[in-house]
Structure 1
Amino acid sequence: MFDLAPYLAPLIVLLAILASAIRVLPEYQRGVVFFLGRFQGVKGPGLIFILPGIQQMVRVDLRVVALDIPAQDVISKDNVTVRVNAVLYYRVVDPERAIIQVENFAEATSQLAQTTLRSVLGKHDLDEMLSERDKLNSDIQEILDAQTDEWGIKVANVEIKHVDLNESMVRAIARQAEAERERRAKVIHAEGELQASEKLVEAARVMSSEPGAMQLRYLQTLADMSTDNTSTIIFPLPIDLINSLVKGAKNP
């Protein structure tokens, strides 16, 4: 009878080696394979085989990563200190460079994003930080994408989430907004006065050229006064009589 006992231990070792040699990579992952320390290639997805002790494999995720940029203290161009945080969206497009060119591409991208955020925002005024976020997001994204390209990283988007101000600056902005509203109200009031004066001048010009218009206005004024609850008695005088009296006074 054939005895399997002498072969049992080697068989178990062989099965263990085969099991450790088998790797299964999902669709969103790639394996960067090294042969005795030298880069051999990028494998996956699916079933791949790695020789234990001779080949090494580093898994790389190709999905988009949402990286939260911690709040940064930024001094704006007009010397205002604010705290700004943002979120960065990136993905690996070249697994070989992401593993070989940088030690930890995720940590390196995070540190670069923090310094770039402070550098870009420090070149702008506070008003621009609050009102031109789309432009600032685009500027930061372009700078990061250019610098991470050699790492095989693609920066898809950058979004500034919050710009936090201290209490004194919030009160100063509120006073500024109130002053701006008062200025607009005064401008609107002045424009209304100007338009009203122009209309009055035009009405006076028409009445001076048409004597009958002045008479109608005189009668309308009397009618308006008669509707009020007043004890004043009004005796209307013809305009012609008034003009005659005025001319007589000038030419005695």
Structure 2
Amino acid sequence: MFKKIIIQADERGLLFNKGRYMKPLAPGIHWVSKLRGDTVTVMNVMKPFIVPGKELNLFLQDEELLRELEVVDVQDYEYVLHYEDDKFAQLLTAGKYAFWNALRRHRFIRADIRVPEIGSEVDLSILPKLGGCVQMQEVASGERGMLHYNNVMQKELPPGKYYFWRGPVQAVIKTVDLRQQQLDLTGQEMMTEDKITLRLNFVCQYRVVEPLRALEIKSFEEQIYIQLQLVLREYVGTLKLDELLRTKQEIAAYALSRLNEKSAEFGIKFLSAGVKDIILPGEIRDILNTVLLAEKKAQANLITRREETASTRSLLNTAKLMDENQTLFRLKELEFLEKICEKIGTISLSGGSNLLERLNALIGPKGDAS
């Protein structure tokens, strides 16, 4: 008893006898004997070569069938990108795969995931289709990246986006900011040489110039902060309070000089520094205010005495000139008379002398005005 099997152009058949693979069947009409236990598995050549319940290696011994298949063996340390007619189809992980080459052209790109960085042969546009097999890390503008494989430094990376395979080797980019940064030291209590405790607010700017060196230092910013503290304590401790207040502008220059002596150790360059505030204890501030007030009062008294002396000297000179020159004396009298007239509403004159004599009598030693 025979059974008719029709295989279409986009199909292939696999002939089995009592479950044992015999041969492939090309498109066309085939007759198989049911009495002998023949069966046919019809497969679509547009789909991967997968026979349910059968191992792939069972069919790869057939040279005739092998000519119609593309076989790819993916190792444990590999990913394989599968393209059909130059279009990405799927990502293949460890295992063996077979595809019909009848109606489609297959292409494979192998990636060794022991080297995590994704090479230029992989089009970045397909990465979203790869799911959890890919990770992205970014180095921002103004930063420098240090690429590490399993905590081992590999190379330095400029700003950009970088893609890595997820696999046995862990890829991590550690970034270092190369932009100018500011370190604020706020409210630090320090003691001067004369045992006065004050609080200092200080600021400095710096820039990282050796990113790798900066990464090698644990708690990088904290160590810079402590170094700045030590430098300032060293300087403040050598000066009395009056000297410190008088030369506070020199603190920044000293601190900057000392910090740059240590800059090579940190891989940075200190750019500028400055004192923001010097905060004194309340009782010291009151004492200084009292001293300042006394100094200002003494200065004011000195200026007053100086002006009084100058005014007296000027009057003495004027008196000498008036004593030597009667005309000047009379002009001065008329000047005073003018000032008196500005404050008196009316002046009454009596007697037979002329007007000038009567006015002269007003400004004389016994003159009367009413």
Would you say how many aligned residue pairs link Structure 1 and Structure 2? Answer: 234
Structural mapping, 1:212-227, within 5 Å: 212-214=327-329
**Alignment partner of 1:30 out of 133, 141, 144:** 144
The answer for the alignment partner of 1:164 in structure 2 is: 279
Instruction: Say whether the 8 Å CA contact 1:31–1:57 is kept in structure 2.
Output: yes
Q: Aligned residue for 2:288? A: 173
Between structure 1 and structure 2, the one with the greater Rg is: 2
More deviation in 102-111 or 155-164? 155-164
Structure 2 vs 1, CA of residues 195 and 77 (structure 1 numbering), >3 Å: closer, same or farther?
farther
Distance 1:152 1:208 in 2: 85
The amino acid across from 2:257 in the alignment is: E
Query: What amino acid sits opposite 1:2 in the alignment?
Result: F
Give the aligned partner of residue 76 of structure 1: 192
Deviations 1:61-91 (A, max 9, x none): 2233332324222223454320112233222
2:176 maps to 60
2:224 aligned partner = 109
- The root-mean-square deviation of aligned C-alpha atoms, in Å, is 4.2
Residue 314 (structure 2) pairs with residue 199 (structure 1)? yes
Match of 1:96 among 206, 212, 234: 212
| Mapped contact 1:72–1:118 kept (Cα < 8 A) | no
Deviation of the 1:156 alpha carbon: 2.6
Bigger RCO (CA 8 Å, 6+ sep): 1
User: Which deviates more from structure 2 when the two are superposed, residues 110-119 or residues 150-159?
Assistant: 150-159
Q: What residue identity is the alignment partner of 2:304?
A: H
1:85 aligns with 2:201: yes
> CA 1:202–1:45 in 2, change beyond 3 Å: closer, same or farther?
same
Equivalent residue runs for 1:103-252 within 5 Å? 103-127=218-242, 129-130=244-245, 133-214=248-329, 236=364
Identity of aligned residues (%): 24
Q: 1:127: how far off?
A: 4.8
Select between 206-215 and 182-191 the one with higher mean Cα deviation: 206-215
Q: 2: distance between equivalents of 1:57 and 1:223?
A: 94
2:49 counterpart letter in structure 1: F
**Residues 3 and 26 (structure 1 numbering): CA distance in 2 closer, same or farther, change over 3 Å?**
farther
| TM-score (normalised: structure 2) | 0.50
- Measured in 1, the distance between the counterparts of 2:301 and 2:365 equals 42
* Secondary structure of residue in 2 paired with 1:69: strand
Query: Conserved in 1, the CA contact under 8 Å of 2:192 and 2:241?
Result: yes
Mean alpha-carbon deviation: is it higher for 37-46 or for 135-144? 37-46
Contact 1:109 1:148 in 2 (8 A): no
Whole-Å separation in 2 of the counterparts to 1:224 and 1:71:
64
Q: Is the 8 A contact 2:203 2:274 kept in 1?
A: yes
**Structure with the largest fraction of strand:** 2
How high is the TM-score relative to the length of structure 1? 0.69
